[in-house]
Amino acid sequence: MKIKIIALGKIKEKFLKDGIDEFLKRLTPYACVSVVELTPIEIKDENLTDKILTEEGEKILSLIKPSDYVITMEINGKQFSSEEFSQKLTSITNDGISEIVFVIGSSCGIGENVSKRADLKMSMSKMTFLHQFARLILIEQIYRAFKIAKNEPYHK
C-alpha cells in the first residue's frame, strides 16, 4: 500500500517534525508513506481567496493520478472513530486501490477543484487544529489504523 500526504506549508517546529518522523518510521512495515509539502500562496486580498485556492488546487491535482483514492481533510467532512477509520482504510485496500492520497489544505482550506476530486471528504474533529498539528494527528491515526487492522497492541 502506498500513501501520499499532500500538505500546504512546511513544518518548522522541531517537536512536530520529530513526532511526524517517528510515526512515519513506525509505518514502514505497513505502508510506503510519503509527504509532499507545497508552498501555500499568500493571500493578501480576501476577495482573491477562491482564486488562490483554485491555483493551489491545480498544483495539488497535478500530483494525483486518476487511479488514486483521494481523501481530503475538510471541516464538513465525515468524522470517523479510530476503529471506523481503520475499517475504511482496509476497505479501500480490499477494493484494489494501490495508492491513497490525503490532502491537507492551507489555513484557508482547499479549492473546490480539489474537493470535487475527493473520493472521501474527512474531518478529524469538530475542533480546529493548526495545520501542522493536523499532519501529525493524521499520520498517527494512519499508524493506529494499521495497528487496529492487524489486531496489534497500541490502540487501547
* C-alpha 36, offset from chain centre: 10
State which H helix or E strand residue 25 sits in.
helix 14-27
* SS3 category, 133: helix
| Residue type present at position 26 | R
Sheet holding 99-104, edge to edge: 32-38, 2-8, 99-104, 69-78, 120-122
At 40-78, the pLDDT tens digits run: 888 888 888 899 999 999 999 999 999 999 999 999 999
Q: What are the residue ranges spanned by the domains of the chain?
A: 2-42+50-149
CATH T-level assignment (fold) for domain 2-42+50-149: Alpha/beta knot (3.40.1280)
Round to whole Å and give the CA distance between 132 and 7.
9
For 121, the grid coordinates are: 471528504
Provide the residue count of the chain.
156
Q: What is the pLDDT of residues 101-149, one digit of tens each?
A: 999 998 888 999 999 999 999 999 988 888 889 999 999 999 999 999 9
Model confidence pLDDT, tens digit, residues 69-100: 999 999 999 999 999 999 999 999 999 999 99
Q: Which residues are CB-neighbours of 61 under 8 A, at least 6 positions away?
A: 113, 114, 117
Residue 108's region, left for phi above 0, alpha for psi from -120 to 50, else beta, is alpha
Cross-strand pairs, 106: 109
Neighbours of 78 (CB within 10 A): 13
Query: Using CA atoms, how far apart are residues 53 and 41, in angstroms rounded to an integer?
Result: 8
pTM, full prediction? 0.94
